[in-house]
Amino acid sequence: MLIGGFFILLGIIAIIWDGLEKNKYFDTIARRPDTREFLTGWPPRPQFGALKTGGWIAIVLGVVLSLGGFFRWWG
């Protein structure tokens, strides 16, 4: 159950980190004189979605591990 809790915490941290990185990146681009990438969204940046996807995978894995540990402990 501890490993499951660790993965849930890791997933939440990854999702929050994704939001912070995205905001920091777009804030720095908005301050530049050339804001074509900011306005058009081209080229797309996959690293933001990757952190969020990895976070959700870690949360699901953590829930599965926690439930498995709980049922093993309970019964």
pTM: 0.69
Q: Please give the chain's pLDDT, 75 residues, in tens.
A: 788 999 999 999 999 998 888 888 777 766 666 666 666 666 666 677 888 899 999 999 999 999 998 888 887
Query: Measured between alpha carbons, how far is 16 from 5 in angstroms, rounded to an integer?
Result: 17
Query: Measured between alpha carbons, how far is 49 from 60 in angstroms, rounded to an integer?
Result: 17
Q: Could you check whether the bond before residue 46 is cis, i.e. omega within 30 degrees of 0? A: no
Please give the C-alpha separations between residue 32 and each of 37, 40, 67, in angstroms, as whole numbers: 10, 14, 48
Query: Measured between alpha carbons, how far is 20 from 48 in angstroms, rounded to an integer?
Result: 10
